[in-house]
Amino acid sequence: MRALSIQQLHKTYKNGFEALNDIQLEVEQGDFFALLGPNGAGKSTTIGIITSLITKTSGRIQVFDADLDTDRELAKSYIGLVPQEFNFNGFEQVKHILITQAGYYGVPAKEAETHADELLKKLGLWDKRHSSARALSGGMKRRLMIARALVHQPKLLILDEPTAGVDIELRRSMWTFLRDINRQGTTIILTTHYLEEAENLCRNIAIIDKGQIIENTDMKSLLNRLDRETFVLDLKQPLTDLSALADLCCHQVDSTTLEIELCRSESLNSLFNRLSECGIEVASMKNKANRLEELFLTLVESSETQQ
């Protein structure tokens, strides 16, 4: 079954700006799906239309087969949204926010309280349950938004840049939490600017640019398309002469840092053999950019060239 089906979606704002142009997108039940794109590409407009915050110009959206136009309430009941900006009432108590949200979805009070308590404990907010939301730290506010989106147990969770401005430790713990709920059956759609996050979490991906889907495939096939990777090597001793490596595509950043670009056909073993032959010892190595990031930039740049 499809968790989300978008057909021929168009959105033109009153000022004439065409935000979405014929979006077609399908997300299977149980998927962990990334919707990526540069700023202003149309990600948030797409999410806004799916969640009824923005009115579409034309097109059709179905959530678990419920049509958003003809069976609006059922379609909405399947969705949980974690928006980009904090949008809870800062003066309300944390637990009240969750129980109120569950009430909007018609969850009976006792059940709502049980779900709220479970989520508050799982997301490390239990001790703050009686605090007003504005007193929470930034990371806690992010977790509160996730708890609020899950309190009615949605089948489809949409996260619009959920880890923006969150420190790495919290981001990793949120990844673990999201992987768990996805494993338990919740379909997840994620937009993020941290491409490492998308690469780590998502199985399928769509890239949107200038209101159009320019790529829609599974993460593995997309990453397989990457034909070159750049590695940054930290050397044990300063390198004075680069001539021995003239046939390699490399660039010396400073005396102990070397950047080498490799084709997919070349192996790392042969590179290291070559470096050993030249008496170059490598202390550590890393990718210059995240693999998905390199692909993303290539795809967006080529889409811009075509236009």
Contact residues: other proteins, CB under 8 A? 13, 48, 51-55, 72-74, 76-77, 79, 81, 83, 85, 87-92, 96, 100-101, 103-109, 111, 148
The Cα-based distances of 180 to 98, 174, 191, 201, 258 in angstroms read: 20, 10, 18, 11, 39
Report the nearest approach of other proteins to the CB of residue 215 (Å): 27
Of 47 and 214, which CB lies nearer to other proteins in the complex structure? 47
Report the nearest approach of other proteins to the CB of residue 104 (Å): 4
Report the nearest approach of other proteins to the CB of residue 151 (Å): 11
CB atoms within 10 A of CB 157: 24
Residue for token pair 């490598």? 282
Of 135 and 297, which CB lies nearer to other proteins in the complex structure? 135
Report the nearest approach of other proteins to the CB of residue 211 (Å): 15
In this structure, are residues 205 and 34 in contact, taking their beta carbons and an 8 Å threshold?
yes
Of 83 and 162, which CB lies nearer to other proteins in the complex structure? 83
Strand arrangement, sheet containing 156-160:
79-82, 156-160, 187-191, 32-36, 204-209, 212-218
Of 45 and 212, which CB lies nearer to other proteins in the complex structure? 45
Of 114 and 302, which CB lies nearer to other proteins in the complex structure? 114
Report the nearest approach of other proteins to the CB of residue 58 (Å): 16
Report the nearest approach of other proteins to the CB of residue 213 (Å): 21
Report the nearest approach of other proteins to the CB of residue 165 (Å): 17
Residue for token pair 């420190």? 167
Of 51 and 131, which CB lies nearer to other proteins in the complex structure? 51
CB-based contacts of 213, cutoff 8 Å, min separation 6: 23, 24, 25, 206, 207
Of 133 and 178, which CB lies nearer to other proteins in the complex structure? 133
Report the nearest approach of other proteins to the CB of residue 76 (Å): 4
Of 52 and 173, which CB lies nearer to other proteins in the complex structure? 52
